[in-house]
DNA sequence: TTTCAGTAGGCGAATGCATG
DNA sequence: CATGCATTCGCCTACTGAAA
């Protein structure tokens, strides 16, 4: 019997999304400050993006000398737009003797890629309400993007607070899915937007686009046999109003009604909203329940902490 | 074959910062 | 001043590839 599940994520505006301790709550004001203050090297965030052009000769040399791990870092940054040092470590530096060693190795490698002008470090906040410094955030430089994608169409820009928070939250969710899959020994295929987007036709035949943040396929075995689950995951930081959330649910319902999912998935992926606050989970659940036009059983809502319960099928 | 430069793994200590 | 935490720095050792 095939279990049928899917997932969309929403989180309150906190940063980085899903951190396990109290420091997970990084209010927008702190993030704004981080983007405004000079970075570690005494440059402003905008100045940090002013890197000299990566010439063809040096690009060829880097292309030939970068390690497979270096490429994976660039690919992850290209995928998500922005990643914290911690997220890069959890994506790529997973085979070290200790987490501390992995952390040092991550920082050293990121610094080297920065020296090569392939990535850019965003300014970060030092100190704060709970002491300590906030993690550094990274993005591809224009040269790094050119090396990765072979295109000139990229300029490292200073992100808005909301966009940065959204990118980091999506990456955090991605990491949670992978870590959950690993701990439950599930096979996972994960697609990040815009590759996760899906086209479909509306009632009037107009061409519409469904824009989930993540598209996840999980395969494995449970007590009922093998399963092959598809999930749409949407990361929302609680900045959207509930009517906006419901409107988005309506788009998923329309996509479901269009039948466009049949060719891609064979089943309609379920949609899971995830937030890091139970209060927000309750609000979204109640709003969906009040909206009769939304298909029963299509939507689920969870905190990031409970994500594994959905992925392994113990929650619905 | 030897030397050298670059990189990485690993360890310990110091720094920067706001809070209590 | 102690605390908490991400980050930086210095040092050592080992490996690899290029150059002498």
pLDDT in tens, chain A (316 residues): 334 333 332 222 233 343 332 233 222 333 333 333 333 333 333 333 344 456 666 666 666 667 667 777 888 888 888 887 777 877 877 766 566 667 777 777 777 777 677 777 765 444 333 333 455 677 787 777 877 776 655 555 666 667 777 787 788 888 888 878 877 788 889 998 888 888 888 777 788 888 999 999 988 887 777 878 899 998 877 777 888 888 898 889 888 888 878 788 888 899 988 876 778 888 888 888 887 777 678 888 887 777 777 776 666 5
pLDDT of res. A214: 92
Of the residues A133, A157, A181, the one at which a domain ends: A157
Q: Which pair of tokens denotes residue A15?
A: 């940063």
Q: Which residues constitute the domain of residue A193?
A: 163-311
Angstrom distance (rounded) from CA A198 to CA A8 = 14
In the prediction, which pLDDT does A216 show?
92
- What pLDDT score does A33 carry? 35
CATH classification of the domain holding A258: 3.40.1350
Of A123, A157, A191, at which residue does a domain stop? A157
Number of domains in chain A: 2
Residue A32 belongs to some domain of the structure: no
- Which of the 104-143 residues on chain A come under 7 Å of nucleic strand C at their beta carbon? 104, 107, 111, 124, 127, 130-136
> Residue closest to B16, CA→C1'?
A126
Report d(CA A302, CA A129) in Å as an integer: 27
CATH number of the domain bearing residue A102: 1.10.10.10
Q: Which nucleotides of C are covered by protein (CB under 7 A)?
A: 3-10
Cβ atoms of A232 and A7 closer than 8 Å: yes
Number of Cβ within a 10 Å radius of residue A221: 10
Looking at A157, A174, A207, the residue that finishes a domain is: A157
pLDDT of residue A58: 64
Same domain, yes or no, for A144 and A199?
no
Same structural domain, A152 and A172: no
What tokens appear for A66 in the block? 């970068």
Asked if residue A11 belongs to a domain, the reply is no
Residue A135 near residue A16 (C-beta atoms within 8 A): yes
* pTM for the whole structure: 0.76
Q: Is the CB of A86 under 7 A from strand C?
A: yes
**A68 CB inside 7 Å of strand C:** no
A24 is a domain residue: no
Residues A186 and A269 occupy one common structural domain? yes
Residue A3, in any domain of the structure: no
How much is the pLDDT for A91?
Answer: 81
**CB–CB of A236/A10 below 8 Å?**
yes
Instruction: Let me know whether A63 and A115 are in one domain.
Output: yes
Nearest nucleotide from residue A102 CA, by C1' atom: B9
Residue A47: C-alpha distances to residues A102, A120, A157, A228 (Å):
29, 10, 10, 47
Residue A146 CA to nucleotide B3 C1', Å?
A: 36
Give me the helices (H) in chain A, please.
28-36, 45-48, 56-65, 68-80, 85-92, 99-115, 142-149, 161-183, 242-258, 261-265, 278-290, 307-311
The verdict on A152 and A218 lying in the same domain is no
Q: Is the shortest CB-to-strand distance from A24 to strand C under 7 Å?
A: no
């Amino acid at each position: 019997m095939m279990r049928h599940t899917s997932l969309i994520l929403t989180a309150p505006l906190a940063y980085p999304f899903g951190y396990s301790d109290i420091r997970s709550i990084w209010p927008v004001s702190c993030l704004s400050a981080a983007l405004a203050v000079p970075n570690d090297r005494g440059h402003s965030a905008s100045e940090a993006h002013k890197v000299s052009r990566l010439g063809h000769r040096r690009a060829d040399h880097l292309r030939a000398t970068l390690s497979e791990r270096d490429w994976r870092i660039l690919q992850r940054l290209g995928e998500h737009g922005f990643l914290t040092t911690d997220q890069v470590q959890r994506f790529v530096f997973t085979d070290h003797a200790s987490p501390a060693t992995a952390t040092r190795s991550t920082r050293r490698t990121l610094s080297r890629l920065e020296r090569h002008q392939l990535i850019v470090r965003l300014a970060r906040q030092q100190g704060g309400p709970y002491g300590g410094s906030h993690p550094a955030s990274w993005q591809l430089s224009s040269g790094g993007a050119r090396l990765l994608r072979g295109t000139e169409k990229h300029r490292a820009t200073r992100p808005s607070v909301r966009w940065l928070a959204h990118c980091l939250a999506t990456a955090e969710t991605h990491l949670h899915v992978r870590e959950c899959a690993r701990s439950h020994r599930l096979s996972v295929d994960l697609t990040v937007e815009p590759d996760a987007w899906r086209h479909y036709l509306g009632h009037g035949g107009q061409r519409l686009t469904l824009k989930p943040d993540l598209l996840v396929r999980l395969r494995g075995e449970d007590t009922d046999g093998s399963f092959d689950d598809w999930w749409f995951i949407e990361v929302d930081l609680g900045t959207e109003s509930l009517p906006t959330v419901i409107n988005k649910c309506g788009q998923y319902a329309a996509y479901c009604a269009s039948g466009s999912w049949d060719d891609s998935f064979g089943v309609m992926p379920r949609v899971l909203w995830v937030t890091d606050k139970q209060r927000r989970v309750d609000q979204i659940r109640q709003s969906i329940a009040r909206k009769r036009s939304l298909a029963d059983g299509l939507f689920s809502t969870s905190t990031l902490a409970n994500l594994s319960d959905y992925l392994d099928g113990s929650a619905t």
